[in-house]
């Protein structure tokens, strides 16, 4: 990155509709009984598709232009398991079966970013999850969870700002999932 360039912290994500968010909030409340840690603010609940991290501001426009060329059909995601990731100190909602459509979509996003020479975290395998609690030191997950059915219809480019009171996420643009005609 050139010196003095305007840098932003970005990621691509799925943002839940109100119905899904409410179920995630309920699950986070339930997990709070089993784990230490603090709940993610409801407005921050999301599922990261691709983490881009610090990148030049002009890449926002580049990504927005490229996004219009990405075509995928909507799909359903079922969040049906809770997890405790000890190293990251988080409790998450995850899935026993990542839909093939989601895997293909993420692969496509990584491919497009790579073609644009925009660096992103493509080294880790994609494990879909919604972080529900942070700073979790101990956690004893007791019951199986009530499955959350998430009809995935949109995806977003999100800017993350670190503030003294925590991360603030702002959606810069979002797109409907639509199959190629
Ligand atoms: P997490 O919820 O599992 O922490 C914004 O930081 C979003 O990007 C979060 O959903 C976070 O996932 C995800 N993310 C993925 N890789 C990251 C990284 N290397 N640093 C920070 N956030 C990352």
The domain that holds 96 is classified in CATH as: 3.90.1140.10
Residue 181 lies inside a defined structural domain of this protein: no
Distance 5 CA to ligand 1 centre (A): 23
Give, using CA atoms, the residue closest to atom 12 of ligand 1: 48
The answer to the question of residue 72 being in a domain is yes
- Beta partners for residue 137, in sequence order: none
Q: How far apart are CA 48 and CA 8, in angstroms?
A: 17
Q: How many CB atoms lie within 10 A of CB 43?
A: 10
Counting the structural domains of the chain, the total is 1
How far apart, in Å, are the Cα atoms of 3 and each of 7, 116, 144?
A: 10, 21, 50
pTM of the entire predicted model: 0.95
Residue 123 structure tokens = 């080294």
Digits of tens for pLDDT over the chain (181 positions)? Answer: 655 579 999 999 999 999 999 999 999 999 999 899 999 999 999 999 999 999 999 999 999 999 999 999 999 999 999 999 999 999 999 999 999 999 999 999 999 999 999 999 988 999 999 999 999 999 998 788 999 999 999 999 999 999 998 999 999 999 999 988 7
Nearest to 129 by CA among 112, 106, 154: 106
Give residue 42's domain range.
Answer: 7-176
**Residue 51 Cα, ligand 1 centroid: separation in angstroms?**
6
Residue nearest to atom 3 of ligand 1 (CA): 131
Between the CA of 53 and the centroid of ligand 1 the distance, in Å, is 9
Q: Is 48 in the pocket of ligand 1 (CB under 6 A)?
A: yes
């Amino acid at each position: 990155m050139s010196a003095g360039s305007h840098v932003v912290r970005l990621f691509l994500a799925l943002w839940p509709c109100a119905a899904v968010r409410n179920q995630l909030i309920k699950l986070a409340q339930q997990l709070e009984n089993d784990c230490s840690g603090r709940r993610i603010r409801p407005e921050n609940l999301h599922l990261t598709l691709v983490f881009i991290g610090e990148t030049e501001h002009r890449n926002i426009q580049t990504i927005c232009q490229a996004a219009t060329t990405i075509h995928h059909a909507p799909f359903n995601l079922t969040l049906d398991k809770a997890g405790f990731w000890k190293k990251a100190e988080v409790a998450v909602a995850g899935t026993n079966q990542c839909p093939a459509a989601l895997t293909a979509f993420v692969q496509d996003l990584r491919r497009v970013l790579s073609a644009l020479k925009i660096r992103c975290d493509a080294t880790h395998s994609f494990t879909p999850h919604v972080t529900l609690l942070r700073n979790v030191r101990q956690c004893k997950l007791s019951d199986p969870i009530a499955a959350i059915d998430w009809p995935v219809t949109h995806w977003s480019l999100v800017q993350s700002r670190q503030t003294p009171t925590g991360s603030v996420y702002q959606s810069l643009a979002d797109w409907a999932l639509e199959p190629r005609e």
